[in-house]
Amino acid sequence: MEKITRFGVSIEPDLLEKFDSMMKKKGYSNRSEAIRDMIREHLIIEHVKDPCAEVIGTLTMVYDHHAGPLVDRLLQIQHDHYQEILTTTHIHIDHNTCLEVLVLRGETQNIQTLADSIKAIKGIKHGELVVTQRSL
């Protein structure tokens, strides 16, 4: 079993009340787990700010596959970045609209550049990049 360190925290009653309310809404069974998750989240946010940090994540995009040369351009960019793309998933939402998810791994700056170049393609209706640390 992993060693656990206990420590005390002083907090104003109003802030604690808001924290407890948020914790219950999100389904945490105790304060310790909620605090651990908040610490992890903050550490990840700080980690991915480093342009050379190794990250893993997803780029989710929605697009109209009939929009000009979008599909050809999308495939070209994906082939140019095969080192960072682990896999793709393509879903047909309706006759015109597709949802595609790229699972990515690499340095933050390379992943961000790839995501920005894809999101800038004419016909991409929405794109969102989510990255995290490869390991904590």
Are 28 and 70 within one domain?
Answer: no
> How many domains, the chain?
2
Nearest in space to 85 (alpha carbons), one of 60, 65, 68, 105: 105
**Phi then psi for 37, rounded to 5 degrees?**
-65, -40
- pLDDT tens digits, residue range 85-133? 999 999 999 999 999 999 999 999 999 999 999 999 999 999 999 999 9
**Contact by Cβ (8 Å): 82, 33:** no
Are 60 and 85 within one domain?
Answer: yes
Q: Which residue has the tokens 């009653």?
A: 13
Indicate yes or no: pTM above 0.75: yes
Residue 41: domain span: 13-48
Look up residue 125 and give its two tokens.
């209706």
**Contact by Cβ (8 Å): 133, 48:** yes
**Contact by Cβ (8 Å): 70, 120:** no
